[in-house]
Structure 1
């Protein structure tokens, strides 16, 4: 029987232990490298995931604002007719053609008057927008006018009207403008890229200048100014200033009395004294 050799046994034990440690270390290191790779991948993906989450939240906010804002302008058709921005029934007996400046304090005060009249008229009255940015409110007033047209182009007539209402709600007025016009455009439904492309084109400058010239030729000298049109006869009366509903209704009554007269396309009449005020007298 061979003798027990303690030195040999110790050596064998150490060898086995060393092998076990080596194997364990190898497994551990392999797992560590795997964990490190996974963690690195997660870290690399994290900014993108955070950005997507923030973007999704922002889109949700914009969509919620859009639904709320547009619901206030349900009286406007989704699309404009022959480039005309009309709020209310296309078959209305009377049209309130308003020449307005989105930076004008009096226009802001007046803005809800024709809207309420159209809303409550059961289709007998509609409201049409014409741009009349005043020189001392430029360049912001012209930019606002162009922005409203671009919104109308890429998002529709209802979005155009919603834009005008929200601009008045947010502007600091008198040429100071709105803090974030692009956000406003998005919140009424304008796709941002299409809106930016339209704004960069400057395509509506001629239209805006044409409407200013048209208003001036009709006797408009300040804003707001409303041309009340009898759609049955074509007769028109010019009402200057931020007038009340009562004044506008009286003007319509005067137009009804004029229905026995031949339409006058060249000369624009004005209502009786008291129904017309210059902007400085408001």
Structure 2
């Protein structure tokens, strides 16, 4: 390493040079002038020799390199810890908010799978959300994988920038439920997710009643239900409940252990494996396993 342009020594030299000079001055004979002062020329010569030796020494470069690497490692570790702490705090806060979700209620909520399952996955979803479209099949596969240990609770969360499409599709799913119960609700819901192109206008609103007719529902009765807006407040209740539970986007998911009360927030269209691991951990806490 070279000196800086203004002639100042690198930090490490400034630290070790006084000690080196002190040792040399003790061990090397020095001469005093008539006033008893140490010969300044000798001091300067020794200083120059020490500096030159340090410059030529591989040891100095190795020590500098080691110091730099130690500094970089420390900074990385500090940053990683800060990021981990921030994630942990974010998860803790999300889990705490998720406890505000309305209790699951048979007859009010749409439940796929065993109603008495130990674990419930509550999904706040938007029919026009492309991530919800992708996630829809993932949740079905997850429920089938756990064979009665997990159920799926579907709640509406139509995002404003996907309306009026997402809102009216949610109301349409409730109109399907009105005529055919949960079986009709799930068949209708599956069909919209399969056919929509997402984004707010992915499924034409004038196709909602014809879709109902495909499942042997009365299209005229269905259209009257849709035109009446009678499920508008029902959808709004789900949306507001999601907001209270900390949901800010879709799909917004909450895992609940119905036996222990443990709550985990799991936002976004995460892969099946992420939910599988979380659920297995929750089941272990109450002595169950898949």
TM range (shorter): 0.5 to 0.7
SS of equivalent residue, structure 2 residue 200: coil
Instruction: Answer yes or no: is 1:253 the counterpart of 2:280.
Output: yes
Q: 2:142 aligns with which of 108, 114, 117?
A: 117
Task: Determine the C-alpha separation between the residues in 1 that align with 2:261 and 2:221.
Answer: 38
Query: 1:250, CA displacement in angstroms?
Result: 2.1
Query: Which range is displaced more, 225-234 or 170-179?
Result: 170-179
Query: 1:257, CA displacement in angstroms?
Result: 5.9
Instruction: Answer yes or no: is 1:90 the counterpart of 2:128.
Output: no
Task: Determine the C-alpha separation between the residues in 2 that align with 1:181 and 1:209.
Answer: 20
Query: 1:163, CA displacement in angstroms?
Result: 1.1
Query: 1:97, CA displacement in angstroms?
Result: 0.6
Task: Determine the C-alpha separation between the residues in 1 that align with 2:185 and 2:197.
Answer: 20
The answer to whether the 8 Å contact 2:165/2:203 transfers is no
Q: 1:103 aligns with which of 112, 128, 136?
A: 128
Q: 2:53 is matched with which residue? A: none
Instruction: Answer yes or no: is 1:159 the counterpart of 2:163.
Output: no
The answer to whether the 8 Å contact 2:112/2:153 transfers is yes
Q: 1:196 is matched with which residue? A: 223
Q: TM-score, normalised by structure 2?
A: 0.59
The answer to whether the 8 Å contact 1:236/1:255 transfers is no
Task: Please tell me the root mean square deviation across aligned C-alpha atoms, in Å.
Answer: 1.8
Q: 2:99 is matched with which residue? A: none
Q: Once the two structures are superposed, what CA deviation does each residue of 1:98-130 show, in whole Å capped at 9, x if it has no partner?
A: 110000000001100111111232211111100
Query: 1:253, CA displacement in angstroms?
Result: 3.5
Instruction: Answer yes or no: is 1:134 the counterpart of 2:156.
Output: no
Task: Determine the C-alpha separation between the residues in 2 that align with 1:193 and 1:183.
Answer: 10
Ranges in structure 2 where 5+ consecutive residues have no aligned partner: 1-104
Alignment of 1:140-151 (within 5 A): 140-151=165-176
The answer to whether the 8 Å contact 2:122/2:152 transfers is yes
Instruction: Answer yes or no: is 1:181 the counterpart of 2:208.
Output: yes
Task: Determine the C-alpha separation between the residues in 1 that align with 2:129 and 2:173.
Answer: 15
SS of equivalent residue, structure 1 residue 198: helix
SS of equivalent residue, structure 1 residue 232: coil
Query: 1:258, CA displacement in angstroms?
Result: 5.5
Alignment of 1:230-245 (within 5 A): 230-245=257-272
Task: Determine the C-alpha separation between the residues in 2 that align with 1:121 and 1:94.
Answer: 10
